[in-house]
Chains A and B, each alone.
Chain A
């Protein structure tokens, strides 16, 4: 699990809608009726989540592949 320190780059982002800095928070990702919970950078105002590229192309893509039985 990444700590605040590991998320340095992503936590430097601000939410475009709320103009607030992102904070690390628990997020539940759901795909094909399967839910996975993890900490990700999110806006404390509107709750929008920043999905880092490495996560999207890494384990998130692998999880999708497994669940789709590809």
Chain B
């Protein structure tokens, strides 16, 4: 069985995106923070933190007590090497090692569509967020419908794995008792990243070769099927369940 290729672990992608490994880098994080009221030292978690670039940014630039969680031991190892003492935890987005209602905000950037059980994860995030706590999500979405793609086992695991449309995203938020405060399209950032990849590697085909896997039809798509969004939501006032 071929080894599973994880796009987000690929140095070929990081060479272009830098340590944040996502379209827009820290710019969207900053934009989201402008919509959140978070006191200094507030406890926040970056779910799918990768090498912890956002965790370091939240701690050093905003004075937040930021933690990071990721399933990739490889990326966490890179982060620990880069910044000593960064509180990075290996774990799953659907089972957070945090007590109920203890976090002021959760960040989940370019990760939600990768999760095999996004609705379970949203329920879990609701559990650990304080009442009225913030949920910041940025990710890809399907612009022309609600299709959800899941490559077969052994195929490239990328941000396209579980991409859904706006309607599904909003339904999932509502079901998990999150109130959406902001939903913005930032598709130009996705286009910019694709363009940067072509510029760096000569073509998207050459980029996928450098990553070490094929991507079906999804990433060859230049016809605008995929967009990128920023969402800021809050945990609903009433109790979950």
Contact = CB atoms under 8 A, between A and B. Distances in A.
Contact of B198 (A63, A69, A70): A63
A59 interface: yes
A34 B192 contact: yes
Interface string B212-236: 0000000000111000000000000
A69 B224 contact: yes
Task: Give the interface size bracket for B toward A.
Answer: 10 to 19
Interface residues of A, number: 12
Nearest to B227: A69
A58 B196 CA distance: 14
Nearest to A58: B202
Interface string A59-70: 100110111011
Interface of B: 187, 191-192, 194-196, 198-199, 202-204, 222-224
Interface of A: 34, 36, 38, 58-59, 62-63, 65-67, 69-70
Which 6 pairs show the lowest CB-CB distances between chains A and B?
A: A63-B195, A36-B199, A66-B195, A66-B194, A69-B224, A62-B198
